Amino acid sequence: MISQRFASVWDAIEDTPEEAENMKLRCTLMTALKDHMAQTKMSQAQAASLFGVTQPRISDLVRGKINLFSLDALVNMATAAGLEVKLQIVEAA
C-alpha cells in the first residue's frame, strides 16, 4: 500500500487540481459567511434577507452543503453581507 500526503482534503478527493482549487475557495467563503453570522449573532432569517437568498439556502450554507453553492453565488452573498472578497494569485509551489 502506497501512502500519499495531500496539502488539503480537497486535493485528496477531487479529480483535478482545478476542481480542488475551486472547492478550497468555496469552502473559505462558506466559512467566512458562517463566521460572520455567528459574530453578529444573526439568525438564518436575518442572514437570508441580508444576503438576498431564502432561509432554506442559509440552512444549506450552515450545514456545509458546499455542492449546492457556486463560487459566484458565495461571492455575491459575501458582498451583500458587507464582506470584502479579495483574491490573491501566486505561483504554485
DSSP 8-state symbol, 69: -
Question: Could you report the per-residue pLDDT of 12-63, keeping only the tens digit for each?
Answer: 566 677 788 888 899 999 999 999 999 999 999 999 999 999 999 999 999 9
Say if residues 62 and 15 touch (Cβ distance below 8 Å): no
Say if residues 85 and 29 touch (Cβ distance below 8 Å): yes
Examine the pLDDT at 8 and tell me if it is beyond 80. no
pTM: 0.83
Contacts 24+ apart (CB under 8 A), 68-74: 69/26, 69/30, 70/26, 71/22, 71/25, 71/26, 71/29, 74/26, 74/29, 74/30, 74/33
